[in-house]
Amino acid sequence: NGVCVQPQGLHDISVSDLHFMLNDTIVNNNLIVNKSYKILIDVKNKGNFTENVTFEGKIFQGNVVKKTFTHAAINNFVPGDVKDDKSRTVLFDLNPGIYNVSVMGVILVLDANPGDNIDMKQITLIICNVNNDCPLGLICQNPGNIGSFCKNETIIWSNMKSSFISSKLLYRKSLN
């Protein structure tokens, strides 16, 4: 009779549990500038259809996208299937500051619940959290904060040593 009938069911995927790993260790939301982190997500096919899912990742500050990335697509993602800890390694080569990281799953048909296709986390990019984050010989100042920086320990020691020597010389002169 010329009438198209749509199959019954839902197209519905979800993206959740966005988190970060460095050297196979889950890290909090303070990330170090110029380090590569795994961005992990969980993906579930909550619908009744096999789906092909692509992913769009963004790192943005305010409304400005600073960097984009992708996760590998999932093809023939069957209903009820779950992919835990799907990862993509991304270099965070941005300036220190507060950013949002989002990953959105995309299917080619209208999703029944598009609000759960995206997960987002706020991160703080910092220079250092501990001394090991700094190049050898430098120490982390104001650790864990946007204003953190690596300071040259040798200069500090050198200045302390010269102050000590100067004080010692002044003390000797005062004894004479």
- Give 173's pLDDT tier (boundaries 50, 70, 90): very low
Phi and psi torsions of 23, nearest 5°: 50, 45
Residue 72, token pair as written in the block: 């590998």
Q: Percentage of residues in the chain with pLDDT exceeding 70?
A: 82
Is the CA virtual torsion 162, 164, 170, 175 positive or negative? negative
Q: What is the pLDDT at residue 69?
A: 97
If you average pLDDT over residues 30-37, what whole number do you get? Answer: 92
Contact 92, 35 (CB under 8 A): yes
Which pLDDT value is given to residue 130?
A: 85
How far apart CA 44 and CA 155 sit, in angstroms, is: 54
**Which has more confidence, 121 or 3?**
121
| Cα dihedral 166, 172, 175, 176 sign | negative
pLDDT digits (tens, 9 = 90+) for 69-127: 999 999 999 999 999 999 999 999 999 999 999 999 999 999 999 999 999 999 999 99
